[in-house]
Chains A and B, each alone.
Chain A
Amino acid sequence: MNLRGYILGTVAANLALVGALLWQGARLPAPGARGGVSITTNIVTEFAAEASPRPAVVSVPGSPPFRWEQLESTNHLLFLTNLLAIGCPPETARDILDARVADDFRARLRELTRPFQARFWDVAAGDREFDELFKEPELERQIESLKAERRRVQAVVQAVGGRGVKEGKPGRNEQVAHLPDEKQTALAELEARQSKERETMGRELAKAPPAERAAKQKELRDRVMAERRALFTDAEWDEAELRRSPQARQVRELRGYAATAEELKALARTLREFDTTQPRPARAPGDSDADFKSRQDEREAQRKAFLAARLGEAGFAAFERGSDPRFHTLLKLARRLEQPAETAAQWLEVQRTAQEQARLMRENAALADDARAVALLAIRAETERTLQAAVGPRGWGAYLRHAGDWLGQLTR
């Protein structure tokens, strides 16, 4: 080949290379290009065996040195890709992007709603609830479109970095805390499975005839109970039944009542024993109010006698006081004043006495209205004087604020 042939050959090759150059240039992605990203993460958790000595503030490698702007992009996905490309942990990248996407969303939302904010008071005075201020079809459409865009980006971010900080774990079921750990786990699994079964059955039987539905539901209930019961020994089951009882709830709500766990359990059994042998009177057809009340009073007297016999007079008084909501507030006040629980018990006693005196005075038909009013005022004045001295100047204002409403009612 002569020289001219070589020259023509290289010119042709150069033309081809220029073509290739243009083709490659055209295929380069635009900086703001938006497209779906499928990112596979391969996360390796690795901890250094020992801490490296504290580095000084970073000496930035690279020539020219790395600057944050090199990562930044208005395209969130490109920014995410850049972060990951320099080894930013996916969790951190997610945190950065989550915040950025949400802030971007809020800023754009604020711009959209600015005209409506200018009309805030007119709209609030009109026909809309406060949370419906933005209920304009066009605005709602724009907001929904913004939200959809946010969800799309968030989905990708979460695919890379997970869903973020979640606090807490499922709470323990106190009612079965007496079971060994493995039984508690087995019970939790059983309950989860049964819950799913109930859901499935609910869906399957949605259109079944009521009788069939009821029969199937009963069958499931029986099976659930049998499976549950099979996990317990007799003693464990007895304890679980006691814990589920209203008497256990009552015992657990006591305040200012000093007792060990065994004593509280024994108290719950005692209460259950009485309630089982002496059920609350039911109202029979034709019962008058007076008859019904008389039977209720009779049962209450029996209950007091029964408990006093079991707990002793002092124990019964502590139980009655500990169940009294008025005592709960007084106990807190006593604690704040660094007073013992007995002091709160004394304040309660003053209250009970005064309220009983006022009741008797109101029911005394022999008194004229004026005389009754004067007597009630006298009870109130004397009670306030006694209580003020007992509570002391430091706590008296708090007593009136938190526990003193009843004083005003004495004279009504």
Chain B
Amino acid sequence: MRSGLTLVLSLALTGALLGMNFALHRIRQAAPAADPERKLTVTTKRLVRNLPPPAAGIAAATNPPPFHWSVLESPDYAIYAANLRAVGCPERTVRDILLPDIEKLYTERRAELADGPEDRFWETADQRDARQRAREAKLRSLELEKRALIRQLLGADWNFAALKELRSDGLASGLMEVLLGFTDVGKTEHLFLTHELFQDEVRAQQMVTEGIVLDEDLPKLQALRDGFEAALARGLAPAEVEELRLRLAALEGMEHVQRRNGVAVTGAELREIARLRADTHDMLAKALNMDDELYPDEVRTKGEAAFNELLRRFLGAERFADVERAKDGLFRELFQSTEKQGVAKAALVQAYEARRAAEEQARQIRADAQLSSEERSVLLAALRAQTTQALARSLGPVVFGAYLKEHGQQFTNSLSLPVTRARADLQRTDVITVK
């Protein structure tokens, strides 16, 4: 009797174990394989907005139908968003689903506004501009429509293109990381998107005005600039807005203030200099590329003069002179390539001043209308030879030779260039590279 019971129990256990094995087998088949190379074939329907949910008859009444994405999708974005939220989809993911979809929709609508196949080659600039302005106005209207839709669905002014740029792996996003890296990632997004939004507004305004600012436009521009500041303040703490202002100042117009360019400053001093610049220039207007329009020339000139005076007082006369020299690309090049060879700063400054004096002489020779072309050429060549010798004396022949090897002969050759090329060359070398 006991043996019978044991057999029954053992058979029951066998059944249970068989069932568990079968269930586990199914789970293993359903789950992705853990092999290094997993293979999965997905058959799916693309962009099926109106597809009904899988037929109810497929599953038994007691076994509810498996969940399918099509249950969430709807041709109506508001319903699509509500459905996603109803199943607990995180808000960021709702955004990442809807934004590209909306962008695609509006990309197609923008494409419809492209020029047709008509031959429009024989048009004047006016005719082309008028057509372009009409098209830009339609694009702007589409953009505003898209923005309103996004605001309605997501509750904020998200911008897909700006997010994409921020998320890209390129130089621009790298620079943003350096510039805005003092905040957390969420605040960086807020900052960047706010900037893009207001910059768009400024561009739209410039398109309407064709870049011609009437006095009556100034309050609108001022309101845009103030709106930008207020929007930044909504997402950032006051200290963060201040840090942003200072970093923008460091990036714009004072990139040369570095020890590598012969200006001995500490990090704390550089930050203080950035504050002086930010107090004398409207960094937020500059960030929106509207300071030229918002402020007359004389106001900007006064701002620059005030900054220079404050900087001179802060650094003292000697270091202020270093800053002035470092504005010149030729000096920076000379300093960076000779400093590591142990050239005394005094010798370097002497060589640079000799070069500057020669440049002034060359300018006078080129401007002298009494000279014939040949006479001018002879004088410029002589000036070049004389300057080359003076530089070699100041720096020493070895260092000067090494400099020429590294940077070519432009430092002296440009002295003897003819009038037109010298002008172009000067423009090129005087540009301060914005990094």
A residues contacting B by CB (< 8 A) are 3-4, 6-7, 10-11, 13-14, 17-18, 20-21, 24-25, 27-30, 33, 35-48, 50-52, 54-55, 57-58, 60-63, 65-69, 78, 81, 83-92, 95-96, 98-100, 102-103, 106-107, 109-110, 113-114, 117, 119-131, 133-134, 147, 150, 160, 164-165, 167-169, 172, 174-175, 177-178, 181, 243, 248, 251-257, 259, 261-262, 264-265, 288-289, 322, 328-329, 331-333, 335-337, 394-395, 397-398, 401-402
Contacts and interface: CB of A to CB of B under 8 A. Distances in A.
Given A28-B28, A81-B32, A255-B126, A57 B212 contact: no
A84 B40 contact: yes
B14 interface: yes
A402 B38 CA distance: 65
A257 B82 CA distance: 56
B88 A167 contact: no
Contacts of B36: 35-36
B258 A125 contact: yes
A68 B38 contact: no
A14 B177 contact: no
Name the prevailing secondary structure of the A interface residues.
helix
Interface in B20-65: 20-21, 24-25, 27-28, 31-53, 64-65
Contacts of B364: none
B392 interface: no
Interface in B200-225: 209-216
A328 B175 CA distance: 37
A70 B126 CA distance: 60
Given A4-B3, A43-B46, A402 B212 contact: yes
B10 to A, nearest CB: 4
A332 B211 contact: yes
Q: Which interface residue of B7, B66, B214 has the most chain A CB atoms within 10 A?
A: B214
Interface of B: 3-4, 6-7, 10-11, 13-14, 17-18, 20-21, 24-25, 27-28, 31-53, 64-72, 74-76, 79, 82-84, 86-90, 92-93, 96-97, 99-101, 103-104, 107, 110-111, 114-115, 117-126, 128, 163, 166-169, 171, 174-175, 177-178, 181-182, 184-185, 188, 209-216, 247, 250-251, 255, 257-260, 265-271, 296, 372-373, 435
Given A24-B28, A44-B45, A46-B51, A62 B66 contact: yes
Given A84-B40, A89-B44, A167 B107 contact: yes
B167 A99 contact: yes
Contacts of A25: 24
Shortest Cβ-Cβ A-B pairs, 8 listed: A122-B267, A29-B34, A102-B167, A48-B50, A121-B267, A17-B17, A261-B122, A99-B96
A69 B260 CA distance: 53
B51 A253 contact: no
A55 B41 contact: no
B14 A58 contact: no
Given A96-B96, A113-B181, 8 more contacts: A46-B46, A46-B48, A60-B71, A92-B101, A95-B97, A109-B177, A243-B121, A261-B123
Contacts of A178: 119, 121
Contacts of B42: 39-42, 84-85, 90, 160
A160 B169 CA distance: 20
Nearest to B63: A63
Nearest to B176: A106
A243 B178 CA distance: 47
B3 A336 contact: no
B79 A397 contact: no
Nearest to B98: A95
A400 to B, nearest CB: 9
Nearest to B433: A129
B100 A38 contact: no
A289 B175 contact: no
B48 A38 contact: no
Contacts of B82: 57-58
A42 B217 CA distance: 56
A3 B267 contact: no
A252 B32 contact: no
A336 B214 CA distance: 8
B258 A127 contact: yes
A131 B6 CA distance: 79
30 contacts: A10-B10, A17-B18, A21-B17, A28-B28, A35-B38, A46-B46, A54-B76, A58-B83, A61-B66, A61-B67, A62-B65, A67-B87, A68-B84, A69-B88, A78-B32, A91-B46, A110-B177, A121-B271, A124-B250, A126-B260, A131-B175, A131-B178, A165-B103, A167-B107, A177-B120, A178-B121, A261-B122, A264-B122, A264-B123, A322-B124
A44 B79 contact: no
Given A36-B38, A46-B45, A48-B50, A125 B83 contact: no
Nearest to A29: B34
Nearest to A66: B67
A95 B212 contact: no
A61 B67 CA distance: 6
B184 A127 contact: no
